[in-house]
Amino acid sequence: MTDLRGVRNLVVLSGAGVSTDSGIQDFRGPSGVWTLNPGAQKKATYEAFLSDPSLRESYWQSRRDHPVWQAEPNAAHLAVARLTGSDIDTVVVTQNTDGLHQRAGTPADRVVELHGTMHEVLCVDCGHRSPTASVLARSAGVPDCEHCGGILKTASTMFGQTMAPAVFARAERAVLSCDLVLAVGTTLTVEPAGSLAASAVRAGATLVIVNWDPTPYDGIATAIVRDPLGEALPRIAAEVLEGASSPRPRPALGPADLAADLLRGEVDPSRLAEVTPTFLLHLFEDTTPDEEVRALTVLSRAAADDPALRDCLRELLSVLPGLSPAAVAAAVSGDHPQPLADALTSLARNAALPADLLEAIPAGTTVLGEFPILLAESLVEAYEQRVDAYPATALPGLAAMLTELANRLTDAGRTAEAQEAADRAAKIRAGL
């Protein structure tokens, strides 16, 4: 375990895994809601909720049957509450909507609920809020707003909804001023919540990840704990509290001369053994696009024969997906594209990326492997999810993206799949 002495400002970044010992399923764990039922994630979109009355009916039934109403705080929640009750300035940034941190004794004003709460109901039309318990008590079916008759949902964020900017800003302020982030019970795959871990490390904080499964940010963590949360978090909390009065050691961020050489694209290859994911995270903190391309070109060339550096590149892009345009440019123009292609492909399998990134990849490009295909497939899926709610704009977009997918599949020599995508595009256009 890392040195946890001298912590003055602490952020606990908690996810669904914190509440599993309270009887509430997580989402992506071995027995998670979406692991056992992958289709459930697509049904959890805001657009689908608004457009499909049958989904609203099942949604409200799931609210009634949810284990949150019987759940009690567990040892992990209580450990966090002990930290918030100490002299350490502690903020709990949670992705959970169950309110169990507050019930365990953490003051409500110390909790930032990134994804809202299940304990309040919000009218999507007039914005009126009311307690969930009272809404469930007055309606056995799909309730509507008593004030305007509008659609009701719990005040928790669904896929497709924008996180409240003020809420995220408060979380970001906390991680940028803390000494230590404890990321507990979270896979750190939901953005922008996951990026808070990277922001903290770039600002000089120590990152400790306590989670059963790997996360995209493991490479920049100072320590990773795979023990059960109910055992690990009380132990870590005790260690933090015990060392609170000691001086805080500051980590070395890496040699400045190596960083400068990399950004110029001129570096002694023998020095690349000093490169770590944390060093790269700081390297790209304030860089120009040209510097990014130069550095990634050098790193990709060296990573061709260095598996450890290849892993560093993959972890770097998973933490900083904003480097993707530079990685694409470096791969297309460089002489050793494969490490960057592998890193980009890994990223595309685990994150949603912007459409303009696909536009930056020239037609006929093959050096990026599966990456353009994965990008096109993800954009096809995004249009498919919009078809029911916005057919007039989504159907032409879907046809165009299917054509793009067909072209990328053709580039990769996957002619049968390319023809299938092209046929789907033609059928949609014929029906417009």
In whole angstroms, give the CA distance from residue 89 to residue 1. 22
Tokens 């990014």 sit on residue: 292
Percent of the chain with pLDDT over 90: 65
Given a contact cutoff of 8 angstroms between Cβ atoms, the answer to whether 326 and 287 are in contact is no
pLDDT band (50, 70, 90) for residue 35: very low
Catalytic option among 66, 77, 101, 115 = 115
Rounded to an integer, the average pLDDT of 206-212 is: 95
In whole angstroms, give the CA distance from residue 138 to residue 121. 13
- For residues 352 and 297, state if they share a domain: yes
Q: What is the pLDDT of residue 40?
A: 56
Domain region containing 197? 9-24+66-115+157-242
Given a contact cutoff of 8 angstroms between Cβ atoms, the answer to whether 411 and 365 are in contact is yes
Given a contact cutoff of 8 angstroms between Cβ atoms, the answer to whether 183 and 13 are in contact is yes
pLDDT tens digits, 123-159: 999 999 999 999 999 989 999 999 999 999 999 998 8
Q: Examine residue 192 and say whether the peptide bond preceding it is cis (omega within 30 degrees of 0).
A: yes
- For residues 420 and 333, state if they share a domain: yes
Rounded to an integer, the average pLDDT of 97-121 is: 96
Mean pLDDT score of the chain: 90
Given a contact cutoff of 8 angstroms between Cβ atoms, the answer to whether 104 and 78 are in contact is yes
Given a contact cutoff of 8 angstroms between Cβ atoms, the answer to whether 156 and 97 are in contact is yes
φ, ψ dihedrals at 117, nearest 5°: -145, 150
- For residues 72 and 176, state if they share a domain: yes
Of the residues 219, 242, 265, which one is the last residue of a structural domain?
Answer: 242
Is 350 inside a domain boundary?
A: yes
Q: What is the pLDDT of residue 194?
A: 83
Q: What is the pLDDT of residue 38?
A: 55
pLDDT band (50, 70, 90) for residue 282: confident
- For residues 221 and 322, state if they share a domain: no
In whole angstroms, give the CA distance from residue 295 to residue 290. 9
In the DSSP assignment, the letter for residue 209 is: E
- For residues 233 and 305, state if they share a domain: no
Report the side by side order of strands in the sheet with 129-131.
Answer: 129-131, 116-123, 152-156
CA of residue 322 relative to chain centroid, distance: 13
- For residues 198 and 83, state if they share a domain: yes
pLDDT tens digits, 315-353: 888 888 889 999 999 999 999 999 999 999 998 887 778
- For residues 228 and 363, state if they share a domain: no
Report the side by side order of strands in the sheet with 89-94.
Answer: 111-113, 89-94, 9-14, 180-184, 206-210, 223-225
Is 115 noted as a catalytic residue in this protein? yes
Rounded to an integer, the average pLDDT of 2-15 is: 91
In whole angstroms, give the CA distance from residue 329 to residue 81. 47
Where are the alpha helices (H) located in 274-390, listed in sequence order?
277-283, 289-303, 307-319, 324-333, 338-350, 355-359, 371-386
Contacts of 5 (CB under 8 A, 6+ apart): 243, 244, 246, 247, 248, 249
pLDDT band (50, 70, 90) for residue 251: low
- For residues 14 and 86, state if they share a domain: yes
Number of domains present in the structure of the chain: 2
Is the model's pLDDT at 192 over the cut of 90? no
In whole angstroms, give the CA distance from residue 210 to residue 75. 14
Rounded to an integer, the average pLDDT of 286-305 is: 93
- For residues 179 and 203, state if they share a domain: yes
pLDDT tens digits, 45-64: 888 889 889 989 999 999 99
- For residues 333 and 393, state if they share a domain: yes
Is the model's pLDDT at 116 over the cut of 60? yes
φ, ψ dihedrals at 399, nearest 5°: -60, -45
- For residues 15 and 164, state if they share a domain: yes
Is 41 inside a domain boundary?
A: no
Q: Record the tokens describing residue 74, joined without a space.
A: 């567990």
Is the model's pLDDT at 28 over the cut of 60? no
pLDDT band (50, 70, 90) for residue 103: very high
Is 126 inside a domain boundary?
A: no
